[in-house]
Amino acid sequence: MATPSSSYRAWVPAALEAAIITRAAHYHSLPAEKLEAEVHQLLRQHSRYMDTECLNLYAGTNVMNPRAQKLLASGVGSRPSLGYPGDKYEMGMQYAEQLEIMAAELLKEIFHCQFVEFRVGSGSLANLYAFMATCKPGDRIMAFPASAAGHVTHHAEGAAGLYGLEVQAVPFDGEQMAIDLSELRKQARELKPKLIVVAGSLCLFPYDVAGVRAIADEVGAYVLYDAAHMSGLIAGGAFQQPLAEGAHLMTMSTYKSFGGPPAGLVLTNEAALAQKLDAIAYPGLTANFDLSKTAALILAALDIHEHGKAYAQMCIANAQALAASLYARGCPVHVVEGRGFTVSHHIALPAHQWGGGTKASRLLEPANILTSGIGLPLEPIAGDFNAVRLGTQELTRWGFIPDSMRDVAELICRVLVKSEAPETVRPEVVALRRNFQDLKFVR
């Protein structure tokens, strides 16, 4: 590689930047052949660690059908595709463009909607598309705050702020993990938002979308349901159905509970919104897109079409079993009176005793147990999230069942409750994980 740049990013934490510079110098020292060899070595190490040695309970990931994964390497991904099927800017797309029709029709069937925009790079970009279709810069929106697991793209630091929207918080009842509809009606009448965003990065229970839609109609607002984490359960019919319940738009990631490639979707039953989304995608922000990813998405959607109901139900059963097992072993699990721990694939652990959700997650990582921090409507923790978020979607696809969750809970609690050294727990994590090497709920 060429001589490394001397530039220094003062805005990056100094320790991180120093480590990055050290690694960059190493890579600059390698000739092309050794650099390529290191690429392959790193990918082998990642695959072994992630796919055979870890209990991955990080809610923002999943494992993809290997047949779909292979399609990501197909040559069609290097070909541009601009315009509608049958009327492409480039010639020679008469075969590949059929993938676009196939993907759209399959996704419409799975999600029971009339229009789907799949030419989207990620769930975050899907939210930006939705903002652009419903609002103009300077407009006001209401969205879940970070303390209720609202996603950064809904906030001033993310896509909403970058697009120039003013963001106000959706009133949230932390005791019931629900939207405070009475307060929302009061505030919405005063604030006159153009858009109300429902859901975010942690959904233990369904939200009252119909109630929000009634309020939105009173003030002339759209309703957006962010299904980034819930898409697989929604498609499997095991969670709420936001579009049927009144949401004008539903955005999502396709790689979390859905189990597909990294991409995003925007769904709607409103033709006027679909027309705006179409223009935002092309000739607007997406223009050319990766058709190999579209092909992989088709296979992932076929998995959901065939196995979605059973998969979604097992995700929920596993989460409920894991939550109960953790609680029985003395681990704090967020519970809502009258509702229980969860009716989704998500679990939340208040993290005050460990100093924060990220701190707790870093305790678990050396044991090969992967999680993340998240915000709950509880007492905040300075400099960290106040909860740990767990998701069962990936372990479910690896064949874990509710009985297996007792073993998972025991390993987690040995680190978080009994304070055992993570390195002493890791061999047993690896041993358990190696009993689950065959994917389920895939074609």
Angle between helices 291-328 and 98-111 (to 10 degrees): 30
Q: Which fold has domain 66-301?
A: Aspartate Aminotransferase; domain 2 (3.40.640)
Rounded CA separation 146/127 (Å):
16
Amino acid 179: pLDDT = 98
Query: Which residues of the chain register pLDDT less than 70?
Result: 1-6
List, by residue range, all CATH 3.90.1150.10 domains of the chain: 306-433
Question: Measuring CA to CA, which residue among 391, 392, 400, 390 is closest to residue 440?
Answer: 400
User: Which contiguous run of DSSP H or E holds residue 118?
Assistant: strand 115-120
Mention the CATH class of domain 306-433: alpha beta
List, by residue range, all CATH 3.40.640.10 domains of the chain: 66-301
Angle between helices 271-279 and 123-134 (to 10 degrees): 120
| Single pTM value for the model | 0.95
Amino acid 287: pLDDT = 77
Rounded CA separation 236/409 (Å):
26
Q: Is 85 helix (H, G, I), strand (E, B) or coil?
A: coil
Q: Is 314 helix (H, G, I), strand (E, B) or coil?
A: helix
Tens of pLDDT along 34-92?
A: 999 999 999 999 999 999 999 999 999 999 999 999 999 999 999 999 999 999 999 99
Amino acid 4: pLDDT = 55
Q: Is 195 helix (H, G, I), strand (E, B) or coil?
A: strand
Q: Which are the contacts of 33, defined by CB distance < 8 A and separation ≥ 6?
A: none
Amino acid 8: pLDDT = 85
